[in-house]
Amino acid sequence: MIPELQIALIQSELHWEKVDANLAMFEEKIWTIKDPVDLIVLPEMFTTGFSMEPQQLAEVHKTRTFKWMQQQAAQTKAVIMGSIIAKEGPNYYNRLYAVHPDGSFQHYDKKHLFGLAGEDKDYSAGSQRVIVDVKGWKIFPLVCYDLRFSVWARSQKNADDLYEYDALIYVANWPEPRVNAWDTLLAARAIENTAYCVGVNRIGQDGVGANYVGHSAVYDYKGKPMAFSDKEEILMTTITKEDLLSFRERFPFQADADGFELS
């Protein structure tokens, strides 16, 4: 039997473009977690805020913040997940790392770049979906604007399993004026994929004046809210594989889903 998954969502203000200050802040917050936890999720660009200055702020792949994440994962015995500004070769990426307690990792580069903020001019888009295994759970991590594009998140059935993953996780800097879309689309992604859906946002104001009100949340496979926060806090939640499998067995909607290929 696959165990329950204990998740900590850290919803916080961010120090604008100050990597050291953010790493120190999140380290303090992580060490306030007293309950057992399997997965700790940080917001999008958690070391800088949603900055369009990658030339000044990017970190070479697997260096400073990545090593910090390895240290935190080893000490907490939990997978640490969040995105930063990364540089690989000549390109800059909004790169999500999932770092395991043994030091191994996977990374996902944000596919859908937010053109309204010029992200598509400063960053390169990713092209690969990544499934992360956490204690037998199949987790599909995505980043912020990806939430608006349902096809990229759509669970694909195959010969071995109708369901590609058990839970979606979105890390974000999603601003207040469009937070209703955030709430609605998180629930929709859960319903259409018969999977848990987790969203981790930030709060406060960034260096270009955008306001954030959080709304970090967890939705179950029916789109029912399990946890929600609009303040600075660590939101703890537990998701249960047995309940998910039971629902999927009773309502195998995915068996009737369209087959497709992503390009």
- Catalytic machinery residues: 44, 110, 144
The first and second tokens of residue 222, run together, are: 């029916």
Question: Can you name the residues that pair with 41 across neighbouring β-strands?
Answer: 9, 81
Contact 78, 44 (CB under 8 A): no
State the DSSP string of 139-163. EEEEEGGGGG-HHHH-----SS-S-
Contact 71, 100 (CB under 8 A): no
CA–CA dist 195, 142 (Å, integer) = 14
Q: Using DSSP, state whether 172 is helix, strand or coil.
A: coil
Could you tell me which of 249, 260, 131, 137 has the C-alpha nearest to residue 194? Answer: 249
Q: Using DSSP, state whether 67 is helix, strand or coil.
A: helix
